[in-house]
A and B are shown apart, each in its own frame.
Chain A
Amino acid sequence: MAAVALLAVAAGRADAEPRFAVREGMQCSQCHVNRTGGGMRTPFGISFAQTNLGTFRQRGLFDPHLGGSVTIGGNLRLSNRTLLPTRTELDGVARKRRASNSFESSESNLYLLADTIPGRLAVYVDETVGPEAAFNREAFVLVQGLPVDGYIKAGHFMLPFGLRIPDDNAFIRAATGFNYANSDLGIEMGIEHGPFALKLAVSNGSLGSSDTNRSKQITVHATAVSQYVRGGLSFAWNNNSSPDFKFQSITSGAHMGGRLGRLTLLGELDWIHAITDPEPYDQTAVYFESNFEAHKGVYARFRFEAFDPLVSLANNERDRFVAGVSWFPIQLFEISAYYRLNRDITQRIESNADEIVVEAHAFL
């Protein structure tokens, strides 16, 4: 159980902020070098972060250019997580879990971009440098400036699926596997023309490790973005079967977002159909988030999540309610605090414990 909890914490990396993309009516590529969002920020993204996200902007301008065509970036998150005491009762037997508190460094990433031929060819690396072992999250060659604002990406990258929300623990990211911990090797092609974007990725489907089967994972992601609303559909098919293990998954999802004044809303619904022995099963995951910009750089956030790990079985759903505040006191620095109310089946006492999380986030 402790290992599961540790894994969940370690997977809790966060990066992109689709709430800002929805608020501004922009594609992910407006602010991120990776066209699917997350990681290094574009010149626009870093300017936006330095001018729009600080309540008290401070003197000084971060220049990401190392000189020539090489630019750097990074993300660092430090959090303090308190798991509150919880008590469940099963068949008349009470079970208790005591409170715990821990500091965590959930993200320490450095980005490097070499614009070898500006506007045409770039090499991008996103390296996790801590808190434990260093590993590569993304490393790809990006060919852009193709007809219809097209691009080709080849290498190790995060697959395009759904909203790239900044929480790998969210059910829609954890259940589907499309999160910051699960980059894959392959090739991605896409077009971004006006408000429309279409992305197709062909990858090993083995979560970044070496390929052991003959088939590939196909991921398709389509979005339409306007100033006030956006919508999109995602689909993925992965045959990860081997001679002694049968596993195919079909994952599809729909996401929407919209802005009304200071209020930004995001939502995603995913359905996972797994074909495996002894019988196939279905899962669903729901995500809803609201952000209210109370003042420049101050956001009140509310989130609801639901996950049904086995649709054919009743009364096994998991729910989460998250409420909190995110504040950018100065540019390139965020403090957030939130309360997470977890509800799971009685047998799983760990995932019934509520949490209070305070997080500091520095980025460049």
Chain B
Amino acid sequence: MRSCSDGAGAVRARGPVMALAGVLVAAAMASCVRARLPKYQASDWGRASVAEGRRLFRAACIGCHGEDGRAKVPAARVYFPRPRDLTKGEYRFRTTASGVIPQRDDLVRTIAMGLPGTAMPAWGEQLDAQQLMSLALYVETLSPRFQDEDEAIEDDDILVHPGRLHPPLSSTALIARGRDVYGRMKCADCHGAHGRGDGPSSKTTRNQDGTKSDVFDFTYGEFKGGNRAVDIYRTFMTGLDGTPMPSYADSIPDKTDRWALVYYVMSLRRPRGVWFYLSQRPSWRDPADCD
């Protein structure tokens, strides 16, 4: 995991060269620090407005999602994964159960933090909390699911309360336990024995819309839903709607097992060499994992 807290410390180093290096490191980390989740309270939603969200949507989002949110734009043909059709109201990164619409906070999180490894940028670097909330409100208006009373979120539908999660400290024993869970849950069928996304089913899995599923390579380590343990925990609990990735909320009832699996897949991340640096486009890897 990258840390965002080391940048300023180097300035204390002796000598002008080290001080300069520290300034450069701090400057480089500055963009990382800005990618934090916006802080707001439930009462702040009253200040957000659909009209403001619509204006922001036109300014920032229609290039990929289209004026009507259907993503019927040329960019959709180029980018992989394709920009989401917002009229379907189907979202992968949620705190709610599979098949349930996301909470507004989930939408704010995705808009603010972006989806690393995709074309979805982290708008939290440029927009404040009220603007992000307004955008989330407007995005809700694009899909009838959010207006349908039958689709309303009930208490039981919320599987993850990020504020109430208390991840245990990672340990060798916990990672070893996670490896057992990984095998028991047959994660290797899709993600492969070493987590490279090359399991036997990876070549045939399809998303619900018929497109080929992009099975995640854990060694890459840039999770679209965020790189923190709580982000990965959330994905395991809720699954990724529209993809073959199921929810493990029922399959892994033991909380320690859940965290063990989280830390095991995090341990699969591998350092990258020169070839990886040369073959990647940095623009698509916004730093969305700062906490």
Partner-B contacts on A (CB < 8 A): 23-27, 29-30, 42-48, 50-53, 55-65, 118, 194, 227, 260-263, 293, 295-297, 331
- B78 contacts which chain A residues (CB < 8 A)? 24-26, 30, 227
A-B Cβ contacts below 8 A, count? 93
Judge whether A27 and B74 touch: CB under 8 Å. Answer: yes
Is A296 a contact of B282 with CB atoms below 8 Å?
yes
Closest to A331 in B: B126
Q: Tally chain B residues at the interface, Cβ within 8 Å.
A: 33
Instruction: Report whether A65 and B59 are in contact in the complex, using a CB–CB cutoff of 8 Å.
Output: yes
| Residues from 32 to 68 in B contacting A, C-beta threshold 8 Å | 34, 55-56, 58-64, 67
Report chain B residues within 8 Å CB of A65: 55, 58-59
The answer to whether A262 touches B58, judged by C-beta atoms less than 8 angstroms apart, is no
* CB of B11 closer than 8 Å to a CB of A: no
A43-B63, A65-B58, A262-B282 as given contacts; A30 in contact with B128, CB under 8 Å: no
Q: Is B283 a contact of A47 with CB atoms below 8 Å?
A: no
Interface residues of B (CB under 8 A from A): 27, 30-31, 34, 55-56, 58-64, 67, 73-75, 77-78, 121, 123, 125-128, 131, 277-283
CB-based contact A57/B75 at 8 Å:
no
| Cα–Cα, bound, A295→B62 (Å) | 27
Interfacial chain B residues near A61, Cβ < 8 Å: 56, 59-60, 123, 126-127, 131
What A residues does B58 contact at CB under 8 A? 43, 63, 65
CA A59 to CA B30, docked complex, whole Å: 12
B271: shortest Cβ distance to chain A, in Å?
18
Pairwise interchain contact B281-A23, C-beta atoms closer than 8 A:
yes
Q: Is the CB of B63 within 8 A of A46?
A: yes
A331 to B281, CA, bound (A): 17
Measured in the bound complex, the distance between the Cα atoms of B285 and A51 in whole Å is 11
- B contacts with A: majority SS: helix
Enumerate chain A residues within 8 angstroms of B63, measured Cβ to Cβ. Answer: 42-48
User: Which B residues touch A64, using CB under 8 A?
Assistant: 59
- Chain A residue, CB-CB nearest to B73: A44
Q: Known contacts A63-B55, A65-B59; is A30 also within 8 Å of B74 by CB?
A: yes
Contacts of B62 in A (CB 8 A): 43-44
Residues of chain A within 8 A of B279, CB atoms compared: 260-262
Contact A50 B126, beta carbon cutoff 8 Å: yes
Given contact pairs A44-B73, A61-B56, A55 touches B31 in the complex (Cβ within 8 A):
yes
The 21 sampled A-B contact pairs (Cβ below 8 Å) are: A30-B74, A30-B78, A43-B62, A44-B63, A44-B74, A46-B63, A47-B64, A47-B121, A50-B60, A51-B126, A52-B121, A53-B283, A56-B27, A59-B125, A61-B126, A64-B59, A65-B58, A261-B278, A262-B281, A262-B282, A293-B281
Q: Give Cα A52 to B283, complex, Å.
A: 5
B34, B60, B279, B283 interface centre (most CB from chain A within 10 Å): B283
Instruction: Give every chain B residue within 8 A of A24 (Cβ-Cβ).
Output: 78
CB proximity of A17 to chain B, nearest CB, Å: 13
Chain A: CB-nearest residue to B114 = A51
**Contact assessment for A26 and B74 in the assembled complex, using a CB-CB cutoff below 8 Å:** yes
Q: Cβ of B59: which chain A residues have Cβ within 8 Å of it?
A: 43, 47, 61-65
Residues of A within 8 A of B128 (CB): 59
Q: Within the complex, what minimum Cβ distance (angstroms) separates B122 from chain A?
A: 8
CB distance from B29 to the nearest CB of A (A): 10
Cα-based distance from A50 to B60 in the complex (angstroms): 9
Question: Whole-angstrom distance between the alpha carbons of A60 and B131 in the complex?
Answer: 10
Q: Quick check: B278 and A262 within 8 Å, CB to CB?
A: yes
Of all chain B residues, the one with the shortest Cβ separation from A41 is B63
Contact between A57 and B31 (Cβ–Cβ < 8 Å)?
A: yes
Which residues of the partner chain A approach B278 to less than 8 Å between Cβ atoms? Answer: 261-263
Name the one of B55, B74, B121 contacting A51, with C-beta atoms under 8 angstroms: B121
Q: Which residues of B contact A25 (CB under 8 A)?
A: 78
Residue of A nearest to B56 (CB): A61
A300 to B78, CA, bound (A): 25
Most A Cβ at <10 Å: residue of B64, B128, B278, B281: B281
Of all chain A residues, which has the CB nearest B121? A51
Cβ of B106 to closest chain A Cβ, rounded Å: 21
Distance from A146 Cβ to chain B, minimum over Cβ atoms (Å): 15
How far is the CB of A264 from the nearest CB of chain B, in Å?
10
Partner of B61, one of A47, A262, A296, A331: A47
**A227–B62 alpha-carbon span in the complex (Å):** 21
Chain B residues near A57 (CB-CB < 8 A): 31, 34, 125-126
In the complex, what's the smallest C-beta–C-beta distance from A257 to chain B, in angstroms? 15
CA of A263 to CA of B283 in the docked complex: distance in angstroms?
13
Nearest residue (CB) in A for B74 is A30
Bound state CA distance, A227 and B98, in angstroms? 33
Query: Please, which residues of chain A bring their CB within 8 A of the CB of B75?
Result: 26, 30, 44
Name the CB-closest residue of B to A54. B31
**A294's closest neighbor in chain B, by CB?**
B282
Cα of A46 to Cα of B58 in the assembled complex, Å? 11
**Which residues in B have their C-beta under 8 angstroms from that of A58?**
126
Complex CA distance for A48 and B127, rounded to whole angstroms: 15
